[in-house]
Amino acid sequence: MTLESVLAVSGAIFAIGLYGALSKRSAVVVLMCLELMFNAVVLAAVAFSRFVLPAALAGGGAEVTREAVRTALSGHAFAVFIIAVGAAEVALGLALVIALYRSRETVEITDAGLLHH
């Protein structure tokens, strides 16, 4: 696989998530589409980390420094951070969906504007 093919897949996943987040009315489906967009960003970050190595790691006989390894693994650290943020986002989003359902007995986003009194 090449970097371009991985980024194409990542872009397609992000586009599907964006379309779903903008066009769907169900709050649960919108949360799932947001997770798709998060996962597309994770895929792109890991792909950049894998394919775009620092010069110190790509060099033939040069000694590998800690800074070069840290730079090479920055995409993976970014991915772990995004997964943690995504888990928190889902927990908060589901709490909002439950609150919306309890007050209006629907999970439609268009009905969420009716919550103010």
CATH assignment at residue 51? 1.10.287.3510
Provide the number of structural domains found in the chain: 1
Range(s) of the domain holding residue 70: 3-115
Strand partners, 108: 26
Instruction: Count the neighbouring beta carbons within 10 Å of the beta carbon of residue 29.
Output: 15
As given in the structure block, the two tokens for residue 19 are 């379309």
As given in the structure block, the two tokens for residue 13 are 């996943």
> DSSP letter at 109?
G
For the stretch 70-79, pLDDT in tens is: 666 777 787 8
Question: pTM for the whole thing?
Answer: 0.73
For the stretch 19-51, pLDDT in tens is: 999 998 888 898 899 999 989 998 998 888 777
For the stretch 80-101, pLDDT in tens is: 888 888 888 888 888 888 888 8
Please state, in angstroms and rounded to a whole number, the distance separating the CA atoms of residues 72 and 54: 6
